[in-house]
Amino acid sequence: MEVEKNKTNMMMIQEIWKDRLDDLGGRVADALIEMGDLQGAARYLESWRAGMMIGKVSEDGDREAQKMKEGKIKRRLTLLYLRIGKVEAARECIMNE
């Protein structure tokens, strides 16, 4: 019983840290944009998205939450592509599922 409780607590802590890291990733992208480094922000979001694709299904199988996070990154990346004039890259970002 105690082992299951500890395992549940550890899983909750892992989810909290995953959410914190996702939030931090968004803040990094925002900071790059605010500094005017749009190309750097695009590269950062591309690598962030690629990292999410590698770990596509989380250990607990929460596919819906993973899809929401990926969608948020795709929207940010698409808008950034449009802002820097990469219309074709924006189109590909939206069209590729």
Q: How many domains does the chain divide into?
A: 1
> What is the distance, to the nearest Å, from the Cα of residue 95 to the centroid of all Cα atoms in its chain?
18
- Distance (Å, rounded) from C-alpha 4 to C-alpha 34? 45
* Residue 15 clears pLDDT 80, i.e. is over it: yes
pTM value is: 0.66
Domain hosting residue 89, numbered range: 2-95
The predicted-structure confidence for 19-60, as pLDDT tens digits, reads as follows 888 888 888 988 998 999 989 988 988 888 777 665 555 555
The predicted-structure confidence for 72-94, as pLDDT tens digits, reads as follows 888 888 988 898 888 998 999 88
Collapsing DSSP to helix, strand or coil, 36 comes out as coil
